[in-house]
Amino acid sequence: MSLLTVDGLSVRDQAGTSLVDDVSFTVEPGDRTGLIGESGSGKSLTALAVTGLLPAGLTASGEIRLGGVDMIRASERRRTAVRGRVASVVFQEPLTALDPLMPAGRQIAGPLHRFQGLRGDALRNAVRAALDEVRLTDTDRIARAYPHQLSGGQRQRVAIAMALACRPELLIADEPTTALDVTVQAEILDLLDRLVATHGTALLFITHDLPVVANVARQAYVLRAGRVVESGPTLDIIERPTDPYTRTLVESARRFDAALGRDRD
């Protein structure tokens, strides 16, 4: 059984408008898969559907099986048990993803207590270890700090620590570097690469940035207007795109590199 199977997924709003249309893909244990597309392509809605977190007013149909659980038809209690244990999400903007009224350490402690039953010194040590793992220094201060007291890069590292604290089988990273400056983006991408490799975690990486996904994912699916228009090994898609939309993405990335004076093979 695949770790994640998405088969014929469609997402519609209350008016019946299709926002995601007949999307299918699989993620095997240890895979690195990319969903690529511009804003409005349906890639983030696909991730929310996978985790059972679609906003009110949107409905999903088709099939989503995550860790053997039917994420469309299962009860909210079963889906909640999957989130954090089987799959975790790192969102684009950690300032909104993190609870502004709760110190960072308590937010990391939540899943460790809920899924691993840790408490007391064992819980505090696990929180420090999670912060160490994402290369945050002064861990006691970070653990006591509220999200607004941390930099953007620190907040995203806290979000990654929280997502990976219970060693999920799948990490879903939804535009995790878009809100960060270029230097911090590179640090976060390197961090994600190291952590998923260390723990053998599967990765579903969502981005509008083709060069980024080329460095992160082995397999990629290109979405446009809610549909998959091309899929295959990431390097094949970049080197030999077949869909006109994909060719446009590749050409835009190359023009951007040329403007910055960079060469891309």
Number of domains in the chain: 1
Is residue 206 within 8 Å of residue 221, measured between CB atoms?
A: no
Amino acid 20: pLDDT: 98
67 conformational bin, left if phi > 0, alpha if psi -120 to 50, beta if neither: left
Identify the helix (H) or strand (E) that includes residue 5: strand 4-12
pLDDT computed for residue 258 by the predictor: 56
Q: Please report which confidence band the pLDDT of residue 210 belongs to, taking 50, 70 and 90 as the band edges.
A: confident
Is 264 a domain residue?
Answer: no
Average pLDDT, integer, range 209-214: 85
The 10s digit of each residue's pLDDT in 15-50 is 999 999 999 999 999 999 999 999 999 999 999 999
Cα separation values, 54 from 92, 113, 162, 215, 218, Å: 16, 26, 21, 29, 27
In this prediction, residue 261 has a pLDDT band, given cuts at 50, 70 and 90, of: low
pLDDT digits (tens, 9 = 90+) for 47-90: 999 999 999 999 999 999 999 999 999 999 999 999 988 999 99
Which residues are within 8 A (CB) of 138 and not within 5 positions of it... i.e. 6 or more apart?
none
Of the pLDDT bands very low, low, confident and very high (cuts 50, 70, 90), residue 254 is confident
β-strand pairing of 18-27 with 4-12 = antiparallel
What are the φ and ψ backbone dihedral angles of 15, each rounded to 5 degrees?
Answer: -85, -5
In a domain, 240, yes or no: yes
For residue 117, count other CB atoms closer than 10 A to its CB: 9
Whether 132 is covered by a domain: the verdict is yes
CATH number of the domain enclosing 118: 3.40.50.300
pLDDT digits (tens, 9 = 90+) for 148-204: 999 999 999 999 999 999 999 999 999 998 878 888 888 999 999 999 999 999 999
Q: Which amino acid is at 26?
A: T
For residue 211, what pLDDT band results from cuts at 50, 70 and 90? confident
Residue 128 binned pLDDT confidence (cut-offs 50, 70, 90): very high
Residue 139 is assigned to a structural domain of this protein: yes
Q: Which domain holds residue 188?
A: 4-259
Task: Report yes or no on 265 lying in a domain.
Answer: no
Which are the contacts of 133, defined by CB distance < 8 A and separation ≥ 6?
Answer: 161, 164, 195
Residue 71 lies in a domain: yes
Q: What's phi and psi for 174, nearest 5 deg?
A: -100, 100
The confidence score (pLDDT) of residue 164 equals 94
* Identity at 235, one-letter amino acid code: L
- pLDDT score, position 260: 52
DSSP 13-73: -TT--EEEEEEEEEE-TT-EEEEE--TTSSHHHHHHHHTT-PPTT-EEEEEEEETTEETTT
Q: Tokens at residue 50, please?
A: 């996978």
pLDDT score, position 177: 87
For residue 50, being part of any structural domain is answered with yes
Q: Is 10 helix (H, G, I), strand (E, B) or coil?
A: strand
Residue 247 lies in a domain: yes
